[in-house]
């Protein structure tokens, strides 16, 4: 039997192992925030990967944003050399999950199996993908122990909160310097290759006024009315302009194939009272109003231009409103990234998808960011994609699940990609 067929059969035979591994991972409730049980899940992965012949290292992101003695940011990096010179293929999965939230009909940390699916928080995002990559590597090592190069598997903290205690930290430590190919098993679906993501620019806009008694508003200056004028100008000029900016990036869903802006929050005047407080508000003219905006931008756009557009809105308002004044503060920025379709890791996964599904892979770009940003910007490695089982729409929702057949098939794709990238064809027959 050809190696590809043997690899596929080997993985199909490991289905119950794959399910049990996914269940075990889901049952460690690595909630972020606060960043719980990172050490426990790293210890679990450590035992598993040592048994598979990896050398492992547990790395705490000391001093990184979010790291504390109460909630240390632990990461694991495991490496297995094949014994011949060659490339390093690195699978990176985040180990953290978001809060369960309401509306579950199963235990979010029970790992229940039902109708061919494993349920639980993190099932698709992304413990199912992590499990699939481990099974892929184990099966590949079993059949091709003398492969070229090396396989690495990392489990990293804090992706859901920016990745600073995870992939960003590892990249700063030079942990991607020797890596040639990165596959991030985020749930983009088993037959799609995700090349990258749009950019992010978050900012806080503050309008200024003057406090006065609410019965004599003419003695003050209402910062909320000023903010209203900003919103009006955004509706008139900015939102229509953004809708015109289309991208050649294959972003999914289709609605995100343009520039977007979300208003995350607006607050002006007195703080809202806690539920149960029965007093009345006091009469004051608000002297400050703050708005947080979340602008997602395209690879064709320049981040300086993104910022200039928002400033232009504020300056237009200033020209038309006596007394108008504002501050604008950048909160967060991530540049867009997109791997070329002819990059080696893309080619290897595309060929594996063709083999497993008998058709071409779809190429997509994610509307939001993930850890590829750090591998690109800090690690300076472009040859990186997201590829993994699960449906992105289920991420962060109640009754999150991952399909068992999807996990098996993506593990097959990952193992075939390994055989392509690590010269398994040159493996002496055993
Ligand atoms: Zn994720």
**What is the distance in A from the centroid of ligand 1 to the CA of 124?**
8
* pLDDT computed for residue 426 by the predictor: 61
Architecture of the CATH domain 203-266+282-333: 2-Layer Sandwich (3.30)
What is the band of 423 on the pLDDT scale with cuts at 50, 70, 90?
confident
Tokens at 278, concatenated: 């029965």
- pLDDT given for residue 273 in this prediction: 84
CA 281 to centroid of ligand 1, rounded, Å: 42
359 Cα: distance to centroid of ligand 1 (angstroms): 26
pLDDT (tens digit per residue) in 165-208? 999 999 999 999 999 999 999 999 999 999 999 999 999 999 99
Position 1 scores a pLDDT of 78
Distance CA 394, CA 391 (A): 6
Instruction: Encode pLDDT of 82-126 as tens digits.
Output: 999 999 999 999 999 999 999 999 999 999 999 999 999 999 999
Q: What is the DSSP string of 245-301?
A: -B-SS-BSSGGGSB-EEEEEEEEESSPPPPTT--SPPP-B---EEEEEEEEEE-TTS
Give alpha helix (H) positions in 15-79. 15-26, 38-51
The catalytic residue positions are 96, 159
- Is 314:206 a contact under the CB 8 Å cutoff? no
Q: 288-305: per-residue pLDDT in tens? A: 999 999 999 999 999 999
Paired tokens of 332: 């967060």
pLDDT tens for 131-169 read 999 999 999 999 999 999 999 999 999 999 999 999 999
Residue ranges per structural domain of the chain? 3-197+336-426, 203-266+282-333
Size of the chain, expressed as the number of residues it contains: 430
Residues near 2 by Cβ (< 8 Å), separated by ≥ 6?
none
Please give the C-alpha separations between residue 158 and each of 49, 105, 165, 310, 429, in angstroms, as whole numbers.
Answer: 21, 27, 6, 30, 42
- Cα gap 293→334, rounded to integer Å: 14
Report whether pLDDT(246) > 70: yes
Phi, psi of 403 (to 5 degrees): -75, 135
How high is the mean pLDDT of the chain?
Answer: 96
Residues 308-367: tens digit of each pLDDT: 999 999 999 999 999 999 999 999 999 999 999 999 999 999 999 999 999 999 999 999
What is the whole-number distance in angstroms between the Cα of residue 164 and the centre of ligand 1?
14
The per-residue pLDDT for 272 is 83
Tens of pLDDT, residues 280-290: 989 999 999 99
Domain 3-197+336-426: assigned CATH number: 3.40.630.10
Q: List, in order, residues 6 or more apart from 398 with CB less than 8 Å away.
A: 100, 101, 102, 103, 104, 105, 108
Q: How far is CA 17 from the centre of its chain?
A: 26
Contact 193, 362 (CB under 8 A): yes
Taking the centre of ligand 1 as the mean of its atom positions, its distance from the CA of residue 50, in whole angstroms, is 25
pLDDT at 430: 47
Mean predicted confidence (pLDDT) in 24-47: 98
Determine the pLDDT at residue 428.
Answer: 52
DSSP 182-218: EEE--SS-TTEEEEEE-EEEEEEEEEE-B--BTT-GG
Neighbour count for residue 123 (Cβ, 10 Å): 32
Distance (angstroms) between ligand 1 centre and the Cα of 186 equals 5
Can you give the C-alpha Rg of the chain in angstroms? 25
246: phi > 0 → left, psi -120 to 50 → alpha, else beta; which?
beta
């Amino acid at each position: 039997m050809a190696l590809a067929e043997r690899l596929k059969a080997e993985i199909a035979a490991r289905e119950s192992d794959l399910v049990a591994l996914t269940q075990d991972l889901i049952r460690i409730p690595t909630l972020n925030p606060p960043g719980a049980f990172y050490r426990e899940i790293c210890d679990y992965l450590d035992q598993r990967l040592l048994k598979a012949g990896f050398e492992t290292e547990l790395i705490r992101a000391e001093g990184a944003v979010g790291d504390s003695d109460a909630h240390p940011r632990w990461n694991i990096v495991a490496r297995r050399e094949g014994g011949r010179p060659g490339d390093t293929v690195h699978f990176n999965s985040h180990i953290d999950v978001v809060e369960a939230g309401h509306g579950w009909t199963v235990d979010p940390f029970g790992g229940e199996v039902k109708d061919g699916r494993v349920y639980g928080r993190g099932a698709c995002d992304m413990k199912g993908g992590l499990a699939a990559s481990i099974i892929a590597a184990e099966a590949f090592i079993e059949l091709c122990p003398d492969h070229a190069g090396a396989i690495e598997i990392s489990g990293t903290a804090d992706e859901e909160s920016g990745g600073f205690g995870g992939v960003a930290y590892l990249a700063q430590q030079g942990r991607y310097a020797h890596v040639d190919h990165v596959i991030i098993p985020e749930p983009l679906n088993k037959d799609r290759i995700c090349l990258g993501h749009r950019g992010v620019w978050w900012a806080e806009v503050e309008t200024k006024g003057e406090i006065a008694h609410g019965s004599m508003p003419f003695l003050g200056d209402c910062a909320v009315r000023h903010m209203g004028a900003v919103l009006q100008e955004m509706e008139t000029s900015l939102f229509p302009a953004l809708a015109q900016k289309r991208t050649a990036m294959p972003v999914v869903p289709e609605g995100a194939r343009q520039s977007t802006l979300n208003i995350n929050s607006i607050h002006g005047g007195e703080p809202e009272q806690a539920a149960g407080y029965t007093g009345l508000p006091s009469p004051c003219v608000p002297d400050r109003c703050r708005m947080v905006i979340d602008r997602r931008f395209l690879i064709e756009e320049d981040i300086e231009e993104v910022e200039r557009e928002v400033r232009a809105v504020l300056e237009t308002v200033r020209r038309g409103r006596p007394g108008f004044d504002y501050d604008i503060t950048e909160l967060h920025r991530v540049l867009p990234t997109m791997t070329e379709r002819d990059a080696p890791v893309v080619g290897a996964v595309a060929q594996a998808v063709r083999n497993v599904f008998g058709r071409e892979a779809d190429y997509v770009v994610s509307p939001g960011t993930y850890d590829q940003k750090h591998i690109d910007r800090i690690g300076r490695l472009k040859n990186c994609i997201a590829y993994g089982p699960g449906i992105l729409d289920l991420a962060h929702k109640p009754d999150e699940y991952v399909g068992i057949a999807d996990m098996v098939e993506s593990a097959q794709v990952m193992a075939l990609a390994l055989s392509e990238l690590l010269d398994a064809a040159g493996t002496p027959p055993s």
